[in-house]
Amino acid sequence: MPALAAHVRTVPPNLIREITQAAWATGDAVVLSIGEPGFPTDEHVLRAAIETYERDETFYTPNAGLLPLRQAFADRVNAQQGLHLDPSRIYVVTGAQQGLHLAMSLTLDAGDEVLVPDPGYPTFMMTASLVHAVPVRYRLRPEDGFAPRVADLEALVTPATRAIVLNSPSNPLGAVFDPPTVRALMDFAVEHDLWVISDECYEAFTYDGVEHVSPLRYDTDHRVIVCHTLSKTYGLTGLRIGALVVPPGTAARIDPVMEAVVSCVNPAVQHAAVAALTGPQRYIDTVRAHYRVNRDTAQRLLAARGYPFLPATGAFYLWVDVSAVSGGDVRAWCHRLLAEHRVALAPGTAFGPSGEGWARVALCGSTDALVEGLSRLPAP
**pLDDT of 46-102, one tens digit each?**
999 999 999 999 999 999 999 999 999 999 999 999 999 999 999 999 999 999 999
Which numeric CATH code is attached to 6-41+282-375?
3.90.1150.10
> What pLDDT band is residue 370 in, cutting at 50, 70 and 90?
very high
Tell me which fold the domain 58-278 belongs to. Aspartate Aminotransferase; domain 2 (3.40.640)
- Give the list of residues 6+ apart from residue 260 with CB closer than 8 angstroms, or none: none
Q: What are phi and psi of 379, to 5 degrees?
A: -65, 135
13 pLDDT higher than 90: no
Other Cβ atoms closer than 10 A to 301: 15
Please calculate the CA angle 332-338-340 and round it to the nearest 5 degrees: 100
Q: How far is CA 256 from the centre of its chain?
A: 26
Domains 6-41+282-375 and 58-278 alike in fold: no
251 pLDDT higher than 90: no
Q: What's the whole-number average pLDDT of the chain?
A: 96
Q: How far is CA 219 from the centre of its chain?
A: 21
Contact in structure between 102 and 257 (CB atoms under 8 Å): yes
CA end-to-end span of the chain, whole Å?
50
45 pLDDT higher than 90: yes
**pLDDT of 142-199, one tens digit each?**
999 999 999 999 999 999 999 999 999 999 999 999 999 999 999 999 999 999 999 9
Tell whether pTM > 0.85.
yes
The CA distance from 179 to 215, in Å, is: 9
Give domain limits for the chain. Answer: 6-41+282-375, 58-278
